[in-house]
Structure 1
C-alpha cells in the first residue's frame, strides 16, 4: 500500500503501454482537471467522435486509471468518468528500460507527456491577453543550470514534490470550504535532467 498523497508507481508494462496512445494521455489529463466528465464532453474538447473517446476511456478503465463516477448520471444513458486516484501516477524508467519493449514504451509515454505539456503551454501563450495582468504577472517560466550529482538531483526532485503537494493540498482545502473565487487550474511543469556541453 502506497503512502497517503503519493502517486501510484506503475511497474507493469501493460499498464504503462496504455499511455503510449497520445489521445489516452490527453483524455486522462482533461479528466484529471475536470474531476468528472462524460465521453461526449471530453470528445468536444479533443475534437474526436464520442464513440472513439468512450473506447479509450474503457481501455483506461481496464488498466485501473479511470473509473465510472457513480451517481452522476441523471438519465442513465451516458456514463460519467473520473480518474481512479486523485494522486495520479508515475513510473521509474529503470523499471522498464532493461528490455527493448519496455524502453520503447518509456520513450513513447515520456514523449507523449512532453507533447501534451507543450501543447498546454502553447495554448496558454496564445491566450495570454485573455487572462489579464494578475494571471500573466503570476505565471512564470524559469531555467536554472546547476552542477549536481544524481543523488542531489533526486533530493531536489523530492523537495519539489513536497512543495507542489503542499500547494495542491492548500488549493483542495480551500475549494472544499467553498473558496473558489478567482481560483483556476494551474499547471506547473518542472524538468531536471543532465546534459553535457
Structure 2
C-alpha cells in the first residue's frame, strides 16, 4: 500500500502505467512468499523439535517462542535463525514504508493548494495508523523477554498484537466511506433517541 500511495501521489500521471496488473501480482506474490517462508521456518523448526515438558502454553494463542520453551533440546540456533529472518523481514518492510512516506510527505508539502494537501494526507493517514498499530503492538509483544510464568500484561500484549490491528483495519478504512459514515450517524441518532424516549 505504501508503494501504491507513493505512485499515486508522487507520480500521478504515470499511475496507470506503473501500477498495472503485472506489478500488482508481483507485489502480492512477494508478500505471500515472504509470509510463507517466515511461517515455514517457524513451523519447520517447531515440528523438528522433541517435546518433553508440560503441554500447557500460558498464552492467548499458540506462539512459537512459548512452544520452543517446551522443548527438551537446545533451541538457541533455531531461535536465532527464525528471529534473524523475522527481524530482516520486518525491518525491510518498515524501511520500505518509511522511505515511501518520506517521499510522499516531501511531495505533499510542495502541493500549493490546501485541498490537494488535505486529500493527499487523508489518503495516507489511515494506512499509517494501521501500520503504526501493527508495528507498535508487535514490538511490545515480541521484544520483551519470555518469562516462565507470563503475567497478565504478556497476555494483554498478545491480544493487542493479534486482535487490534485486524479489528481496526475495517474501521479506519471504512470511516472514509460516505455511506458508512451516514449509516453510522443514523444508527447513533436512533440509539440516542431511544435512550431519551425511555
- Does the pair score TM above 0.5? no
Q: Point out the structure with max Rg over C-alpha.
A: 2
Shorter-chain-normalised TM-score: which range? 0.3 to 0.5
TM-score (norm 2): 0.33
Select the structure that is richer in strand. 1
Structure number with the higher helix fraction is 2
